[in-house]
């Protein structure tokens, strides 16, 4: 079996666990290859695709702040990524750089693991930046009854999302359908683990809470959800899901089947929690 090399590009990768995560997936799925970490300065982003060819990289993941900027340098972008407006996975196929978005698949897996259904239910998103893009697309595709965006700059957000209800943080109590609250902001990420994006009282009427943060495993927001007995989940399943989907795309070139996700996802989740003491 041909050995393929993959990697992650971003500006600052010191706290990323992507290399360990992908190496775990590759080991468990029998995928031959390596996964490296490549910090890229903005002025060098345009050289990334040429570097893939020189270094014989079959695929790359893309993290902040380049998920949108990288799009202009690709040969082809699939429809899903175009509609989301961001690429997080690049495949080099027949010397062409093809972009897609597997954050979409990761978020769907995250909700499935938590038993959260989308159709005909209302969702409140804290933050409307880059992390929210794939989330919004999933909710739209799966027919959420309402999507409300909570923003620190509602006027600007309304220009980007004119078809959605956009509220300021102090207006969150006006929301009627409180099926699921999703934190798409970095508030509460290690080391600022005592921070919470909203007040405690605003959480208690929700049926489900999702925090895209995975470090710590239980953010302040999720601890408050626990206090109220609210079903909740962190973002580690989303991270694993997007990585697994990327490996599926890359492994198709090696005729490797990594579609038996359930046991693989749970094993990797437990391994990552233990390795990084999340």
The per-residue DSSP string of 206-268 comes to -SEEEES--SSSS-HHHHHHHHTT-EEE-SHHHHHHHHHHHHHHHHGGGT-----HHHHHHHH
CA distance linking residue 69 with residue 188, whole number of Å: 27
Domains by residue range for the chain, with CATH:
4-101+237-276 (3.40.50.10860), 105-234 (3.40.50.720)
The percent of residues above 70 in pLDDT, for the chain, comes to 95
Which pTM does this prediction carry?
Answer: 0.92
Q: Is the pLDDT of residue 5 over 50?
A: yes
SS3 177: coil
The pLDDT mean for the chain works out to: 92
Quote the tokens at residue 221: 């927001």
Residue 115: what are its φ and ψ, rounded to 5°?
Answer: 70, 30
Cβ burial of 176 (10 Å; 0-12, 13-18, 19+) is exposed
Rounded to whole angstroms, the Cα distance separating 216 from 149 reads: 24
Q: What span, in angstroms and rounded, lies between the C-alpha atoms of 267 and 278?
A: 15
Q: Do 98 and 76 contact (CB within 8 A), yes or no?
A: yes
- Known binding-site residue numbers: 16-18, 63, 88, 103, 127-131, 212, 214, 235, 242
CB 128 within 8 A of CB 148: no
Q: Are 3 and 56 in contact (CB under 8 A)?
A: no
pLDDT band of 2, cuts 50, 70, 90: low
Q: What is the 3-state secondary structure (H, E, C) of 91-156?
A: EEECCEEEEECCHHHHHHHHHHHHCCCCCCCEEEEECCCCCHHHHHHHHHHCCCCEEEEEECCHHH
**What is the tens place of the pLDDT at every residue in 68-88?**
999 999 999 999 999 999 999
Q: Beta strand 180-183 with 122-126: parallel, antiparallel or unpaired?
A: parallel
The band of 235, judged by pLDDT with boundaries at 50, 70 and 90, is very high
> Residues at the annotated binding site for NADP(+)?
127-131, 212, 235
Residue 19 pLDDT more than 50?
A: yes
Q: Is 172 helix (H, G, I), strand (E, B) or coil?
A: helix
**Is a pLDDT exceeding 90 seen at residue 42?**
yes
CA 139 to chain centroid, in Å, comes to 14
pLDDT band at 263 (very low <50, low <70, confident <90, very high): confident
For 1, other C-beta atoms within 10 Å of its C-beta total 10
User: Is 205 known to be catalytic?
Assistant: no
Q: Which of 38-52, 142-156, 215-229, 255-269 has the lowest mean pLDDT?
A: 255-269
Question: Which residue among 3, 11, 67, 113 is the active-site one?
Answer: 67
The annotated binding site for shikimate is made up of 16-18, 63, 88, 103, 214, 242
Instruction: Summarize pLDDT for 90-114 with one digit per residue, the tens.
Output: 999 999 999 999 999 999 999 999 9
**Number of alpha carbons in the 13 Å side-chain half-sphere of residue 102:** 25
How many residues appear in the chain?
A: 278
């Amino acid at each position: 079996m041909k050995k393929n090399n993959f990697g992650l590009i971003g500006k600052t990768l010191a706290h990323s666990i992507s290399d360990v995560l992908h190496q775990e997936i590759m080991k468990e799925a029998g995928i031959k290859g390596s996964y490296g970490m490549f910090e890229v300065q903005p002025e060098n982003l345009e050289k990334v695709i040429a570097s893939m060819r020189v270094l014989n990289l079959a695929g790359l993941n893309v993290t902040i702040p380049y998920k949108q900027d990288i799009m202009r340098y690709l040969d082809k972008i699939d429809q899903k990524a175009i509609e989301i407006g961001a690429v997080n996975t690049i495949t080099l196929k027949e010397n062409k750089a093809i972009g897609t978005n597997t954050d979409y698949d990761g978020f769907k897996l995250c909700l499935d693991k938590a038993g959260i259904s989308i159709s005909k239910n209302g969702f409140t998103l804290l933050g409307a930046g880059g992390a929210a893009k794939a989330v919004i697309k999933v909710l739209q595709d799966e027919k959420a009854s309402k999507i409300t965006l909570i923003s620190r700059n509602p006027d600007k957000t309304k220009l980007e999302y004119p078809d959605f209800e956009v509220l300021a943080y102090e207006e969150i109590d006006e929301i009627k359908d409180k099926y699921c609250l999703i934190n798409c902001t970095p508030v509460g990420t290690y080391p600022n683990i005592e921070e919470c994006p909203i007040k405690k009282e605003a959480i208690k009427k929700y049926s489900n809470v999702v925090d895209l943060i995975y470090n710590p495993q239980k953010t302040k927001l999720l601890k408050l959800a626990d206090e109220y007995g609210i079903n909740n989940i962190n973002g580690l399943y989303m991270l694993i899901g997007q990585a697994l989907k990327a490996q599926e795309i890359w492994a198709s070139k090696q005729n490797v089947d990594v579609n038996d996700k359930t046991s693989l996802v749970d094993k990797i989740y437990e391994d990552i929690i233990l390795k990084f003491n999340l």
